[in-house]
Structure 1
Amino acid sequence: MPTAHNATQFAALGREWIAAWNSRDLERVLALYSEGAEMTSDKIQALGFDPTGTLAGKAKIRIYWGKALTLLPDLHFSLIDLFISPDSIVVFYANERGARICEYLRLDAAGKIVQGSANHLAH
């Protein structure tokens, strides 16, 4: 994680995360993640990638997100707010369909994302 709980650095990461997704540049998004990163989402299950909803490693995450980008040609995220802790950030955003989502992102000592979890509104 960035040293000394640097709120400015965390906020910049959250904004870059949104910008990377909006660029539709998968490698730009993946550059924010460590090689061994884990991603958890109910969409992983829905797209048939893993029944646990968790993928480990950039290679598997790249395949999943590559498919998701293909299925969502109008993908666009609008930042609502950012929340920080000493080792993580939560990016609260709305997608192109207006759904509000919280993305929990835990960071390593180098400031790379090691764990992500997409949290969707319960209905």
Structure 2
Amino acid sequence: MDLDEAVRFAGEWAADWNAHDLDRITRHYSDDVVFSSPVAARIIDGSDGVVRGIKPLRAYWAEGLRRNPDLRFEVVGVYAGVDTVVINFRQQTGQLSAEVLIFRDGVVVSGMGTHGAQLS
């Protein structure tokens, strides 16, 4: 994936999240996606932070949106690899985070949510 494609994807990704639209968010992910996040570890008992499959991932994100009705992401950096996009973003709380997304055949097959210190 080239940088222009990565930047376009990151813009769509942020717009989808900011709209809180799970259909738009999940359209980018494969049915057998594997996603890991320390937030998932807190929300999904027994998951160890790993969510497998689009239906469980959608349920996790639905719960996250329910708990954070003001959720909003601002993209602050985008990085492209061969089959990877890293989106560095600021949450509505000021916290910096990044998602590392691995693509195959145009959809995300694996993702990792990472979170930095809370900034004021």
Name the counterpart of 2:42: 46
Query: Which of 47, 56, 67 lines up with 2:63 in the alignment?
Result: 67
Q: Deviations over 1:40-84 (max 9, x none)?
A: 001111113434210110010011001001000000000101011
1:34 aligns with 2:26: no
**CA contact under 8 A between 1:75 and 1:95: conserved in structure 2?**
yes
**For 1:10-21, what aligned pairs fall within 5 Å after superposition?**
10-21=6-17
Question: 2-side partners of 1:50 and 1:35: how far apart?
Answer: 21
Give the aligned residue type for 1:78. Answer: E
User: Identical aligned pairs, as a percentage?
Assistant: 26
With normalisation by structure 1, the TM-score equals: 0.90
With normalisation by structure 2, the TM-score equals: 0.92
Name the counterpart of 1:115: 110
Q: 1:84 to 1:50 in 2, by over 3 A?
A: farther
**CA contact under 8 A between 1:88 and 1:106: conserved in structure 2?**
yes
**CA contact under 8 A between 1:83 and 1:90: conserved in structure 2?**
yes
**Alignment RMSD (CA, Å):** 1.4
CA shift, 1:122, in A, is 5.7
The size of the alignment, in residue pairs, is: 118
CA shift, 1:115, in A, is 0.7
Structure 2 unmatched runs, 5+: none
CA shift, 1:11, in A, is 1.6
**CA contact under 8 A between 2:44 and 2:60: conserved in structure 1?**
no
